[in-house]
Structure 1
Amino acid sequence: MKQFLITAAGVFAGLVLFLVGVPFLLISMAANATRPEATPSHAVLSLDLRESLSDQDPSNPLAAFGRKSMSVMSVIETLRRAETDGKVKGVLVRLPEGGMEPAQADELRLAFKHFQAAGKPILAHSQGLYPSGVVTATYMLGASTGNLWMQPGASFQVTGLANEDIFFKRLFDKYGVKADYEQRYEFKNAVNPYLHDDYTPAHKESTLSWMGSIYRTGLTTAALDRKKNPAALQAAIEAGPYLAEDAAKLGLIDKIGQVKEAQTAILAKAGDGAKLVDFTDYMRANHERSTGSGPAIAVIEGEGAIVTGKDGTRNPFTGGSTIYSDDLSKAIYDAVDDKNVKAIVLRLNSPGGSDTASEQILAAVRAAKAARKPVVVSMGTYAASGGYWISSQASAIVAQPTTLTGSIGVYGGKFALGPALAKYGVDVRETGVGSPYAGAFGMGQEFSASDRAAFAGWMDQIYANFIARVADGRHLPEARVREIAKGRVWTGAQARQLGLVDEIGGFYQAVDKAKALADLKGEVRLKRMTKQSSPFEALEGVLGVSATSLKTLAAAAWIMGDPRAQSTLDGLVDERLRSEGHAAVLAPRPGAF
């Protein structure tokens, strides 16, 4: 039997290597063999924003095989390098037809303005603007270039901002499903679609508040860039929709032309012999990582839901983002231990997640401050709920005006499925030992009165902890924090007025703030501290063997394997983040985004 198990294990290992190792090595070799061409002496970068953007590059090196997209951070950093590159003469931007995440548009607008301040033009071209997502953000970004073109006959449907939610309460009632949740408090509406059949007054008030703030910000910014009266611009936009030709007559755009004509126009400005260069090719050819010694500002990035543990268990070929508390806190502690690091910029883009994981990361933030290393948080599209928990005690917080933050609250509970299953002859029974609370989160029935009382008391304690951390970090009375908390989502502009955010701006404004707090002068290098897995490490967590073993065994697979074998590692799902039995400090993600 022992020999049989050894043989079976060997066959399984060989199969895994055959199906994974060989194609992986082939892909790696192909990727390394493909090098971007040198930048021509007169280049116009072609930046295509029609595919979705993440906020940050994935730490997983294999994620690029699962999707083709850029990150906001990689775009703004590449534009900074292109400003001083004498070969780059301008940028052509292809705008998406639908909406963009507003804070992403804000960050890119700042980068565009900085690039233009270096004396280099940007031309934005649109093949239509349709009411999908926050289309006002797309228009605002295009308007910031001062050279916004549209294709002849294209639609200009920038008339407002709408958000749609689906409510399941009546469906649950019909089939006997009970969503049994506790919320702290009325604005913590992430689970409202399960509890109600329409917006509650608080839900409606909160949603209209942040939507109105985002809408006003986008229109005011577009009016500023187009040198128009904000009220007049709003009236013209809301009187639409229009075709491109009408939008041009109203001064909403600059010119009508096909993509080819726009390319010809920007190339003419770049000089004789100018060529279009794909933005991603230029980015790869000019990718730089911090080197050298001397004073540095650590850049630490985190994107996605916040969970406990460390990376290494998810599908290595997916690009999904998750903040693992062990990894992010370790990056902060590494920055604390690095004698050259004088300050930290923590870039966050997260709607929240686990309260305990958020607290673990916050402890690392406190440790950095105790070591006299200022921590400045740069907020992306979201830094809400658990994302704000992490940020609350930073040395300073910098957010875009349309960042969604706050959501200082907590919820938790379960779905009671027993009555629904009973209708189909399925009975759920429970047995156990110890306190009756041990089975409180069973799906067979709703909370008992005693279980609900115990659970609600625990939720109150989590909420009180959240309030205390915000009050301490933001130097606000607890009573004031309770007044503006209750789970309510605020935009960055609103949060600045409430004292939850220090400054309005983007990543490079956060870098400037960190320099000032650390009393650093002149040019300071940025040192990335976020863990970047090697390709072998990315597979290690899934296969359960060491990176060294993988290298050795993959080499054997290369000799003995079939190069045509295909990978079968699809569909692995990380299910660590569950709401049942836990307190979730997670903000709602608006459907419009």
Structure 2
Amino acid sequence: MADTSPAYSYPQKRLSGTKVFFITILSVVIGLFVFFFLLVMLLASIGAMAAGSDKVTKPIVLEIDLRMPILDAPVGPTLFADSPTSIVGIVQSLDRAKTDDQVKGVFIRGESGGLAPASAEELRLAILDFRASGKFVVTHAQGLNSTSVIPYHAISASDEIWLQASTSMATAGLYSQSEFFGGVMEKIDAEPQFIRHGAYKNAVNTYTEEGYTPEHREATESLITSIFDNTVDNIADDRDLPREDVLRLLATAPHSASDALDAGLIDKLGYLEEMKDWIATKAGDEDTVFKSIADYKPKGNFGKPVIAVVEGQGTILPGSGGGDNIFSPTTNMGGDTLAAGLDSIIDDEDVKAVVFRISSGGGSADASDQIMAAVIRVQDAGKPVVISMGQYAASGGYYIAAPADHIVALPQTITGSIGVFGGKIALEGAFAKIGYNIDGIRVGGDYAGAYNVDEPFTEAQLAGYQRTMDNIYNNFVGIVADGRNMPREAVIEVAEGRVWTGEQALERGLVDELGGFDTALRAAKRLAEMDEDADVRIKRFPRAKTREELFNDLFSGTVSTGRDLETLSALINMPEVQNALKAREALSAQGHELKATLPDFLER
């Protein structure tokens, strides 16, 4: 039977407004407590992971392999490889390792894959600084076969240098050579037409001369002699040998491994495997972990004052640039990219000062001016800018540096080259020899088509181009005079397109201090009114692209497969193709007005 009893509704008890208010407040407080508790736990977990990323139960010995090419400054990864090793990266990692109890020492694989003199010098300084912490640095080389003194200079500060007994030591000195196509131009009836400001702006000589001019020879001899003398002094100090003995040993190269041992240039003979066993014993554990320095990152120092680091290396070009190449770590300094990176520092309230690392022989005058103007905007925003010169900071590279608050160069940095050149190689005569002809039609001003390589400049075009070069040079001298607080006459005396070592540049007022990246970092702290030894957080501008971003770039273009791109990259990097590209660039020097010709230090 269905229940027909009447439904009964119990009255709902309602809370007062006051109680609702306090319950709500209590809920918010509990919620905030839970939120912050979870946040603290999350941050602790992240910190533990960050701290534990390098944690192993065994001693660590960091490994530096000099047999592979090393860049000046860090760049992001490529699509096909991780970020390559860099000098600045090594310096920062060794600075962290000094206070890491797990890191017992450093092991170097000797013989260079192409270090510039300043890079070898900065590595040496980092080794000495690391050793001052009481930890060891040892090097093994399976042969020191380069006749250049630079690879040996990079390792001379090691506690011990081992050499494979069956090999030899060819270390002798420095050798630089230049190419001259003046005779070739004459034979093919080509007409080089270049304008330059500065008798020492020697890039022109490659296409107009058959050998060194007196100024070209004087500048090159002075440069490499300064580098050689500084290197010999350092080796003598590192190996505790009289300078005269070092000079004599270099002059009588090559030496057998045993003779090098007797002379005190190396410390032991042995194979790589023997040395690794010896290192493990020295580190205190036969299972010592050998860790690539590329995988040992500097401390993040989150929460510390921020120093911005901007890195520019390679040719200065208009537009974008940097280390975002999907093929290789080959870099350049794009005017748009670096100017945008510097401008982004202005609005970052955490940044107290800037270290701008430059390793460039210059390039485009317009792009150099664009980057230089961005440096001044950062200074106008109240953030001091310190330049750290790497391998080179010449011509356009020096133009960018001149307005900075403080300039630091390594003694063997190649800098200066305050001058300008430009022009073209007119190939009309060469074309005529093979029956090839280019005809053209001009409307408007006579300067239209002035840069065509099929015909020489007209008299009016040459006069117009001269005015352009005059303007660039006068602006360059003015930038240096204002930035360095020097009279124009004093700038002109050290200009003329001449390159100097950092040591020579210091004597002439072009730089303020000698040292590497760490010296520049200390200077930035001083200018930011911080203690030189204070911990800071390094924040890089502009940010390097991740591999995921590079992967997206790959498929946003017209080439659809990585294999095709790898093949193209291999072709582009062939020496024959690179030489052809250099020759093609030389046909018209537009965009390279502030490009310095730097000595090629050969290691053969």
Q: Is the Cα contact below 8 Å between 1:407 and 1:489 reproduced in 2?
A: yes
Larger C-alpha radius of gyration, 1 or 2?
2
Amino acid at match of 2:540: R
Q: Is the Cα contact below 8 Å between 2:307 and 2:351 reproduced in 1?
A: yes
Corresponding residue for residue 591 of structure 1: 600
CA RMSD of aligned residues (A): 2.6
Q: Is the Cα contact below 8 Å between 2:96 and 2:298 reproduced in 1?
A: no
Corresponding residue for residue 524 of structure 2: 514
Q: Is the Cα contact below 8 Å between 1:98 and 1:131 reproduced in 2?
A: no
Q: Is 1:569 equivalent to 2:553 in the alignment?
A: no
Deviation at 1:293, TM superposition (A): 3.7
| Greater mean deviation of Cα atoms: 569-578 or 457-466 | 569-578
Corresponding residue for residue 125 of structure 2: 110
Q: Is 1:264 equivalent to 2:277 in the alignment?
A: yes
Corresponding residue for residue 387 of structure 1: 397
Q: Is the Cα contact below 8 Å between 2:359 and 2:393 reproduced in 1?
A: yes
1:487-519: CA deviation from partner (whole Å, max 9, x where unpaired): 101011110111001111000110000111111
Q: Is 1:531 equivalent to 2:548 in the alignment?
A: no
Instruction: Say which SS state the counterpart of residue 429 (structure 1) adopts.
Output: coil
Corresponding residue for residue 374 of structure 1: 384
Q: What is the correspondence of 1:14-53 to structure 2 with a 5 Å cutoff?
A: 39-53=56-70
Q: 2:417 aligns with which of 407, 414, 427?
A: 407
Q: 1:509 to 1:540 in 2, by over 3 A?
A: same
Corresponding residue for residue 465 of structure 1: 475
Distance in 2, matches of 1:587 and 1:543, equals: 37
Corresponding residue for residue 234 of structure 1: 247
Deviation at 1:224, TM superposition (A): 1.2
Q: Is the Cα contact below 8 Å between 2:419 and 2:497 reproduced in 1?
A: yes
Deviation at 1:264, TM superposition (A): 2.0
1:538-570: CA deviation from partner (whole Å, max 9, x where unpaired): 35556557xxxx9xxxxxx9xxxxxxx753224
Q: 2:71 aligns with which of 29, 54, 59?
A: 54
Q: Is the Cα contact below 8 Å between 2:69 and 2:114 reproduced in 1?
A: no
Q: 1:306 to 1:487 in 2, by over 3 A?
A: same
Q: Is 1:96 equivalent to 2:108 in the alignment?
A: no
Instruction: Say which SS state the counterpart of residue 124 (structure 1) adopts.
Output: strand
1:84-129: CA deviation from partner (whole Å, max 9, x where unpaired): 2222111111111676311111111121112111111011112222
Higher relative contact order (CA 8 A, sep 6+): 1
1:244-284: CA deviation from partner (whole Å, max 9, x where unpaired): 1111111222222222222222221111334241315xx43
Q: 1:313 to 1:441 in 2, by over 3 A?
A: farther
Distance in 2, matches of 1:440 and 1:412, equals: 12
Amino acid at match of 1:569: L
Amino acid at match of 2:420: V
Q: Is 1:320 equivalent to 2:335 in the alignment?
A: no
Q: 1:455 to 1:344 in 2, by over 3 A?
A: same
Distance in 2, matches of 1:369 and 1:360, equals: 15
Distance in 1, matches of 2:72 and 2:592, equals: 26
1:373-431: CA deviation from partner (whole Å, max 9, x where unpaired): 11000011011111100000100011111001101111111121121111111112121
Q: What is the correspondence of 1:48-447 to structure 2 with a 5 Å cutoff?
A: 48-59=65-76, 61-62=77-78, 65=80, 69-96=84-111, 100-132=115-147, 135-280=148-293, 283-284=294-295, 286-287=296-297, 290=300, 292-311=302-321, 316-447=326-457
Amino acid at match of 2:226: S
How many residues end up aligned between the 2 structures? 536
Q: 1:589 to 1:423 in 2, by over 3 A?
A: same
Q: Is the Cα contact below 8 Å between 1:43 and 1:274 reproduced in 2?
A: no
| Greater mean deviation of Cα atoms: 527-536 or 430-439 | 527-536
Q: Is the Cα contact below 8 Å between 1:362 and 1:391 reproduced in 2?
A: yes
Distance in 1, matches of 2:270 and 2:172, equals: 22
Q: 1:480 aligns with which of 470, 490, 493?
A: 490
1:319-365: CA deviation from partner (whole Å, max 9, x where unpaired): 21011111111221222211111100001111101111111111111
Q: Is the Cα contact below 8 Å between 1:76 and 1:111 reproduced in 2?
A: yes
| TM-score, normalization by structure 2 | 0.83
Distance in 2, matches of 1:197 and 1:312, equals: 36
Amino acid at match of 1:302: G
Distance in 2, matches of 1:265 and 1:396, equals: 44
Q: 1:266 to 1:542 in 2, by over 3 A?
A: closer
Distance in 2, matches of 1:319 and 1:326, equals: 19
Unaligned stretches of 5+ residues in structure 2: 1-51, 573-577
Amino acid at match of 2:249: A
Instruction: Say which SS state the counterpart of residue 437 (structure 1) adopts.
Output: coil
Amino acid at match of 2:215: A
Q: 1:389 to 1:168 in 2, by over 3 A?
A: same
Instruction: Say which SS state the counterpart of residue 567 (structure 1) adopts.
Output: helix
Q: Is the Cα contact below 8 Å between 1:392 and 1:470 reproduced in 2?
A: yes
Q: Is the Cα contact below 8 Å between 2:313 and 2:331 reproduced in 1?
A: yes
Distance in 1, matches of 2:242 and 2:205, equals: 39
Distance in 1, matches of 2:325 and 2:106, equals: 36
Instruction: Say which SS state the counterpart of residue 398 (structure 2) adopts.
Output: helix
Q: 1:294 to 1:273 in 2, by over 3 A?
A: closer
| Greater mean deviation of Cα atoms: 67-76 or 197-206 | 67-76
| Greater mean deviation of Cα atoms: 580-589 or 299-308 | 580-589
Q: 1:142 to 1:318 in 2, by over 3 A?
A: closer
Q: Is 1:490 equivalent to 2:490 in the alignment?
A: no
1:136-178: CA deviation from partner (whole Å, max 9, x where unpaired): 1221222211311211132212221111122111112111122
Distance in 1, matches of 2:512 and 2:330, equals: 30
1:37-82: CA deviation from partner (whole Å, max 9, x where unpaired): 85342122222110111112224x325x268841112222222222
Distance in 2, matches of 1:319 and 1:167, equals: 30
Unaligned stretches of 5+ residues in structure 1: 1-34, 551-556, 558-564
Instruction: Say which SS state the counterpart of residue 91 (structure 2) adopts.
Output: helix
